[in-house]
Structure 1
């Protein structure tokens, strides 16, 4: 339903120039991010793919009947920062190529880059005549909530939830003995990493600490088939719309059970919220992306015998579980009281709550893009760079920004009902195991499975 909805309502093939740049970058990035074959074979695949890119760029120009100016600007930014992916990252695979094969790769690479840059120039020359960002409207938004996510809420109720959660987390920040703890500041840290390598190693050390904490507190079962989870640097081509990086889980049918998270380049003086937070204490973000967050949940889902459940990837559940885990780790004692780590958890929830207001108001037509940026800065507590990236992500991925807080709210609501039903038998770790054992289903369906109560699902369907 989600795919059909976006094809019908948003029609990105004709409106979003990013579709074609992303296809190029992802086709190369997918060869680099996992060592699924020899470097030589992956290089040969890259050559074959890059040979097709000039034709793809030409097809994109023909397809874009009504390109949106905002999407075009993001596509231009991505196209003009793609060179390092092709010229630096990709070439690390080429060491085993014969001279002729390497020449062929370089030739196809240069032709592909020329076509991509020409595409960016073509877009830039037409920016002034392109249409402005147009919202899908409240009727379509409500349809998406009910039919794609099986949520028992409409757009106005989702917006109200965002306002309530935003007020709560702003107040919780203010109740800290030092409210400035909620604003990441690496200079406060006693253990600032010296460089990029030390930064990545800090993530790995903290991950071991968190796994031991989860086991000691019996907060969730870590199955024996769980693979390693590593941290890697984010290529420049993906920074315009993913300033905080992103996670790659093991593939659904992948024999390799490892996963990894891409972070931006280390910079202790950065103004970017995400990088400052990660330097001061990577655990909240690591818990979200790795264990017990996305990596654990998706790894478990991939092992399910029921193929329908394996295939489900409900974003509200996935992001809700990861965000819930951030605060769950805080409430169960991972961080010292009144610490910068606690402050970071509150700020992360605060800006996830702000995401709801941006997503709903942007796509129902109540706000402009600039209003969304300013709201992220004022209400969410983000710097402008992070706020622009967040707003761009909201504009290009309708409804994705509501996943976090709406999903967390559904899980918290379900937790309370589960505890009441269990009585003296209740154990938090058992709830977590029961919650994530069925795959990434819509949470209204999970509630039915856990409590034998379909009322929330029926409310969504009617």
Structure 2
């Protein structure tokens, strides 16, 4: 099979996934959906997915990659990872039948996702909103049947907390669309508000009352987690090595934060923005400043075709449902002419963790979420469609996390001492996420212990900690992606600099990695350095995937 055949297989997988893949609350856009799309999570639909997965596996197994064609071999590995992730989601995590937090996202997440791009909304989007709202009572009933069979208590309790006051909040989201959608659409949505809200509120009550009778949360276990590392994430390290590296970086970050705070102890922290309008205006200026800084310092090219990453006031229709995902629109490969945007609440002293940082210095968001936007926009312009569409959190989050410290070391925050302190605190958080992720996966932490761990050691507010830990319990491997990816990119940069000597260009390496920013770093090493050592270790793994 030629590379063209691999691309054809990728196109077929993409079309299938646009309909069959579950909705994700991750801030990295994974798939382009048709307005009105609803994820299916019935046992029958899962059985159909397994059949299609087997067919795709057969096609990939028949593929032949030309001898010595590393690029085609990388593409084949990416497709194998995609299919292994489907099996992981369906038969190991089984969130479609176990996880109430996940199912809440399948029920009302499409509503939230439709509202993320900035208005005006198309007629198709407005019809999609009506479709989603009308579907809620029936889909609550489907989710209830799944959870009656296989629900997990910790996740049911977490979902019940998320859904507190959900009837009123969903109605408020609808009312927030006044003047945004047509009068006819608004009237239809208002008629649907009560049945949808009642169904969601009843679901919350049922979850709270039923959680004690559900099964306890069970870790995926070390054996299956290693299978995930080798087959899905394409990581050669052992789980314990990842934790040790993260704890070492955590200690370094704690010291760096303390020393920075002491150094600038007589300087007052930057004030919170006086208004959301002032924050938006400052962010526009600083986004341009960061772009110019990256160019001037030779860190990353900023092509004229690359859009901008801005912030905007949190819309009234998103505010009540912020728990459903990250409130931003990082666009997609069909909208590269649209600027990325993150929605921010009005500045106030008691903002949650990340919002508070951005309200003091918008660059703290630009160097992470803005890095996501740039990396994705550059990757979506990649001429290889397989690399445009493959998404791996370790690569994506690793690049953004790496970019935080890169900008700090390069001097971006020389004028903002306390922002330096915050970057070190971000490092604390990202490093500790590895400990939480692996500990939840192996059963060393319960959900409540993980929340307490974050609150005490980051420190982090309970609301943010609960949202993060509930997602990590249900999706092992996601929380670790920030630190693990950063360490792998640091290793790649260091080895490239040493091996290439005076010919090494940091800008050229960054440009290549960002354009191929969805590709796991074990594959980058093979393409850029000719180093197959990670892949050889991965290939030597002989473990199977127990799903029982």
Query: Please, what TM-score do these two structures have when normalized by structure 2?
Result: 0.76
Q: CA deviation at 1:309?
A: 1.2
CA deviations 1:392-427 (Å, max 9, x no partner) are 232232111100010000011111111112211222
Q: Distance in 1 between matches of 2:269 and 2:97?
A: 48
Residue equivalent to 2:479 = 401
Q: Distance in 1 between matches of 2:335 and 2:168?
A: 28
The question of whether the paired residues in 2 share the 8 Å contact of 1:312 and 1:439 is answered with no
Residue equivalent to 2:100 = 17
Which of 319, 324, 339 lines up with 1:258 in the alignment?
339
Q: Does 1:460 align with 2:538?
A: yes
SS at match of 2:311: strand
Write out aligned runs for 1:44-443 (5 A). Answer: 44-64=127-147, 65-83=149-167, 86-91=170-175, 93=177, 95=179, 102-176=186-260, 178=262, 188-232=268-312, 233=314, 235-240=318-323, 245=326, 247-254=328-335, 256-263=337-344, 265-270=345-350, 272-290=352-370, 293-336=371-414, 339-443=417-521
Question: After the TM superposition, which of the residue ranges 194-203 and 299-308 deviates more from structure 2?
Answer: 194-203
Aligned residues between the structures: 452
The question of whether the paired residues in 2 share the 8 Å contact of 1:301 and 1:438 is answered with yes
Residue equivalent to 1:42 = 125
| Alpha-carbon spacing, 1:113–1:256, altered in 2? closer, same or farther (3 Å) | farther
The question of whether the paired residues in 2 share the 8 Å contact of 1:173 and 1:347 is answered with yes
CA deviations 1:176-232 (Å, max 9, x no partner) are 361787xxxxx9345531123323333222212211211221211122321232224
Q: CA deviation at 1:84?
A: 6.5
Q: CA deviation at 1:43?
A: 2.6
The question of whether the paired residues in 1 share the 8 Å contact of 2:114 and 2:129 is answered with yes
CA deviations 1:104-161 (Å, max 9, x no partner) are 3321232211211121122122122122222111111111111111111121111111
Q: Distance in 1 between matches of 2:171 and 2:481?
A: 36
Structure 1 portions without partners, runs of 5+: 182-186
The question of whether the paired residues in 1 share the 8 Å contact of 2:105 and 2:324 is answered with no
The question of whether the paired residues in 1 share the 8 Å contact of 2:300 and 2:507 is answered with yes
| Alpha-carbon spacing, 1:389–1:23, altered in 2? closer, same or farther (3 Å) | closer
| Alpha-carbon spacing, 1:81–1:206, altered in 2? closer, same or farther (3 Å) | farther
Structure 2 portions without partners, runs of 5+: 1-83, 541-548
Q: Distance in 2 between matches of 1:72 and 1:82?
A: 15
Q: Distance in 2 between matches of 1:267 and 1:35?
A: 21
Question: After the TM superposition, which of the residue ranges 26-35 and 414-423 deviates more from structure 2?
Answer: 26-35
SS at match of 2:346: coil
Q: Distance in 1 between matches of 2:238 and 2:174?
A: 45
Q: CA deviation at 1:98?
A: 7.2
Q: Distance in 1 between matches of 2:102 and 2:467?
A: 17
Two-structure CA RMSD over aligned residues (Å)? 2.6
Q: CA deviation at 1:348?
A: 0.4
Q: Distance in 1 between matches of 2:463 and 2:455?
A: 9
| Alpha-carbon spacing, 1:43–1:84, altered in 2? closer, same or farther (3 Å) | farther
Query: Please, what TM-score do these two structures have when normalized by structure 1?
Result: 0.90
Q: CA deviation at 1:373?
A: 2.1
The question of whether the paired residues in 1 share the 8 Å contact of 2:273 and 2:360 is answered with no
Q: Distance in 2 between matches of 1:295 and 1:99?
A: 34
Q: Distance in 1 between matches of 2:337 and 2:441?
A: 38
| Alpha-carbon spacing, 1:383–1:106, altered in 2? closer, same or farther (3 Å) | closer
The question of whether the paired residues in 2 share the 8 Å contact of 1:146 and 1:154 is answered with no
Question: After the TM superposition, which of the residue ranges 187-196 and 301-310 deviates more from structure 2?
Answer: 187-196
SS at match of 2:426: helix
| Alpha-carbon spacing, 1:227–1:177, altered in 2? closer, same or farther (3 Å) | closer
SS at match of 1:188: coil
The question of whether the paired residues in 2 share the 8 Å contact of 1:147 and 1:461 is answered with no
Q: CA deviation at 1:236?
A: 4.1
Question: After the TM superposition, which of the residue ranges 226-235 and 433-442 deviates more from structure 2?
Answer: 226-235
CA deviations 1:215-268 (Å, max 9, x no partner) are 2212111223212322242834554476xx4543222334653322234x2343
